[in-house]
């Protein structure tokens, strides 16, 4: 190669040319050292000799991606034990511009805004207000005590509260899209929400339930004004006229066919029937004999004080903690009395009918 430049040490090994490949430096970052010298700004003559940078404190540059990764992990540890190596700087190196004073800038460790596409910083999650909380807050504004508020809120059954809560959440989402305050809305806003529900195919009973659920979070005077507003009533009446209830002029199933099927296999003989078919038979006979609601049938129990067998009947009582739809002393204390069907069969037809005895199935 040519004559080395002035100021470059002579102990650097020369690069060896290759016939069929490029010239590259050695892979090991410990031997790939670059010596930097300070040039003489006053020219060639009449000045002091140029000082050289110490050999053992050179700036080491990695020559491959793997070497750069290794340096980032353990170079600092190795340099602390090597008295001749240069330690990695812990603060970023900034080139100073003589035209601007960067000393007035803030620290380089200040948080930067997130880049586009990156995950937003974590924020504390805030629970959305529920319908019960909104109604409790409304009652507190009326000046009621905590005991009075809890007694008022207990007027609705848990199932009704769940239905009202689902309607209230749907109304909040709709208000958010329309940019309307869900606690301070007007009659036109309520009518538009109901009309959007009609477009989705909701039935008149569902629309009436929505009116009751939405107005439950309003003060009493405002709720009564909105629920009894003439335009709200006329909208509900118009919906009933445009979508009248379906009239079933014939039964959807044949009771005689079902009863006949319960007298033969796989429901008889009853002592050899599987538990699945026996359960279906008991539930059906109890339902058609008592003519009670599904909720009342679900409240029945096999406890001795709630399921009393008599010679010609069986007395069933719902669980004491159950609240019927009509919560009155008469309905709460009313027992379900199921008489026996053909208790003493003599003929073949009577024996066939006796297989439908609900007391025998129980």
Q: Are residues 311 and 266 in the same domain?
A: yes
Q: What is the pLDDT of residues 211-259, one digit of tens each?
A: 999 998 888 788 888 888 999 999 999 988 988 877 877 778 889 999 9
Instruction: List the one residue out of 243, 316, 246 whose CA is nearest residue 286.
Output: 316
Instruction: List the one residue out of 163, 273, 252, 263 whose CA is nearest residue 208.
Output: 163
Q: Is the pLDDT of residue 292 over 50?
A: yes
CA–CA separation, 250 and 67 (whole Å)? 85
* Mean pLDDT, range 5-23, rounded to an integer: 52
Q: What is the pLDDT of residues 53-85, one digit of tens each?
A: 445 444 455 444 444 454 445 544 444 444 444
Number of residues in the chain: 362
Q: Are residues 140 and 213 in the same domain?
A: yes
CA–CA separation, 206 and 208 (whole Å)? 5
Q: Which of 181, 215, 242 is the last residue of a domain?
A: 242
Range of the domain at 216: 131-242
Which of the residue ranges 17-31, 172-186, 262-276 would you say has the lowest mean pLDDT?
17-31
Q: What is the pLDDT of residues 47-59, one digit of tens each?
A: 455 545 445 444 4
Q: Are residues 316 and 269 in the same domain?
A: yes
Q: Are residues 221 and 277 in the same domain?
A: no
Who wins on pLDDT, 12 or 217?
217
Q: What is the predicted pLDDT for the residue at 98?
A: 41
**Mean pLDDT across the chain, nearest whole number?**
74
Q: Is the pLDDT of residue 136 over 80?
A: yes
Q: What is the predicted pLDDT for the residue at 216?
A: 87
* Mean pLDDT, range 140-145, rounded to an integer: 89
Q: How wide is the angle at C-alpha 345 spanned by C-alphas 344 and 350, nearest 5°? A: 140
Q: Does residue 259 sit within a domain?
A: yes
- pTM (global) more than 0.75: no
Q: Does residue 217 sit within a domain?
A: yes
Q: Are residues 259 and 325 in the same domain?
A: yes
Who wins on pLDDT, 203 or 117?
203
At 195, list the tokens: 């009309």
Q: What is the pLDDT of residues 186-200, one digit of tens each?
A: 899 999 999 999 999
Q: Are residues 220 and 295 in the same domain?
A: no
CA–CA separation, 129 and 176 (whole Å)? 14
Q: Does residue 71 sit within a domain?
A: no
Q: Burial-class residue 263 by CB neighbours within 10 Å (0-12, 13-18, 19+).
A: middle
| Number of domains into which the chain is organized | 2
Q: Does residue 9 sit within a domain?
A: no
Q: Does residue 167 sit within a domain?
A: yes
CATH number of the domain enclosing 175? 1.10.150.130
Q: Does residue 86 sit within a domain?
A: no
């Amino acid at each position: 190669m040519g004559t080395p430049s002035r100021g470059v040490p002579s102990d650097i090994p020369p690069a060896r040319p290759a016939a069929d490949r490029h010239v590259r430096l050695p892979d090991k970052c410990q031997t790939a050292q670059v010596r930097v010298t300070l040039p003489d700004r006053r020219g060639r003559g009449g000045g002091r000799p140029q000082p050289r940078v110490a050999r053992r404190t050179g700036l080491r540059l990695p020559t491959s991606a793997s070497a750069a990764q290794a340096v980032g992990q353990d170079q600092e540890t190795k340099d602390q034990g090597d008295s001749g190596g240069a330690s990695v700087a812990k603060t970023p190196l900034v080139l100073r511009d003589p035209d601007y004073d960067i000393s007035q800038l803030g620290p380089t460790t200040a948080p930067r805004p997130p880049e586009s596409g990156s995950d937003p910083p974590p924020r504390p999650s805030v629970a959305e207000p529920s319908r019960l909380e909104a109604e409790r807050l409304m009652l507190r504004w009326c000046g009621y005590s905590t005991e009075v508020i809890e007694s008022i809120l207990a007027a609705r059954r848990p199932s009704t509260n769940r239905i009202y809560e689902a309607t209230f959440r749907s109304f909040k989402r709709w208000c958010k899209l329309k940019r309307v305050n869900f606690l301070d809305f007007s009659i036109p806003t309520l009518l538009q929400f109901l009309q959007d529900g009609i477009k989705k195919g909701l039935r008149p009973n569902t629309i009436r339930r929505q009116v009751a659920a939405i107005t439950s979070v309003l003060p009493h005077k405002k709720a009564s004004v909105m629920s009894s507003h003439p335009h709200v009533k006329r909208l509900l009446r118009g919906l009933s006229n445009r979508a009248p209830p379906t009239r079933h002029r014939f039964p959807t199933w044949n009771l005689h066919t079902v009863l006949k099927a319960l007298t033969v296999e796989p429901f008889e003989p009853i002592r050899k029937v599987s538990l699945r078919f026996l359960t279906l038979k008991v539930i059906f006979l109890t339902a058609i004999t008592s003519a009670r609601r599904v909720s009342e049938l679900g409240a029945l129990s096999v406890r001795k004080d709630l399921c009393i067998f008599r010679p010609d009947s069986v007395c069933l009582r719902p669980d004491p903690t159950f609240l019927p739809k009509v919560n009155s002393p008469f309905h709460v204390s009313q027992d379900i009395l199921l008489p026996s069907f053909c208790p003493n069969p003599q003929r073949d037809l009577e024996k066939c009918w006796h297989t439908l005895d609900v007391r025998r199935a129980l």
